[in-house]
Amino acid sequence: MQIFGVDIGGSGIKGAPVDLERGDLAHERHKVLTPQPATPEGVAGCVVEVVRNFHWDGPVGVTFPGVVTGGVTRTAANMDKSWIGVDSAALLSRELGGLPVTVLNDADAAGIAEMTYGAGRGREGTVLLLTLGTGIGSALFTDGQLVPNSELGHLELRGHDAETRASVKAKEDHDLTWERWAHRVQRYLQHVEMLFSPDLFIIGGGVSRKPEKFLPLIEGVRAEIVPAKLQNNAGIVGAAMAAKAVKAEKH
C-alpha cells in the first residue's frame, strides 16, 4: 500500500509516495526550498508542487515543525508566525484540490516511523527521538506509545533555547567543529536525561547520515544513543503512516 508523505522543514520541503509494507520511499523524493518568509500560502504552494510532481491523487500526510493539534498549527518557531492558529490540514487540502490531508508534528512523524521500521522497533521503556536540523525536534515514547508535541528542543539550556545551541543550524551559524558541537549536544542530552531518564536516544535528521563524526565524542550519558535508521526520510514515512491511520479510522 502506498500513501504520500510530505516533510516540511525550516530549509526544505520534501515528499514522495511511501511503501508502507516496507517502510520506505516508493520513489525518489522530490525536494524544494522552503520559501522565505515561510508563510502558510507560500509553503502550501511548495507542498502542492511536491505532490503534483508525482501526479498523486489520494490521501496525503504532512509534517510541520511545531505543535499541531487537530490539524491546527499552534507554534511556528522556525516558520513564519502567521502559521499560528491556522487550520493547516484544511488549508493544504483546499490547495490540493480537496485531497484528504493529515498534519502532525515533524518529529512525532519521524518517531512513529523509527519506532515501527527503524532504530526503535521492538524497544520498550522510554525512547526519545531527537531530530537535529534547522531546530531540534523531539518525539517521546513510553512502551511504544507517543506523547505528542513534546517540543523538547525549546528547553532552556544555560539561559538559551536549547536548539539555538545544539541544532545543526547552530553548528553552521557558529562554524563549530564536530568536537565543539558534540560537546553542546552532550550537554543537551544530559539535561534531557535528567528530566526524562530515557532508555534510548535516537538521533535523527540529516546529521544521522554521519553518526561517526559526533556520536563517539559524546560522553557522560547513561542511555544508549543510536542514529536513526531511516535517516532524513523518517518524517516522510511517518507522515504517510499518520495519513493511513486517519483513512483507516474513517472506514
- pLDDT at site 206: 87
Per residue in 9-50, pLDDT tens? 999 999 999 999 999 999 999 999 999 999 999 999 999 999
Q: Please list the ranges in the chain whose pLDDT falls under 50.
A: none
Domains of the chain: 2-106+233-250 (3.30.420.40), 121-228 (3.30.420.40)
Distances (CA, A) of 23 to 40, 64, 79, 118, 122: 29, 20, 28, 9, 15
- pLDDT at site 247: 76
Beta-strand (E) ranges in 9-123?
12-19, 24-25, 30-33, 60-64, 68-69, 72-73, 86-87, 101-105
- pLDDT at site 12: 95
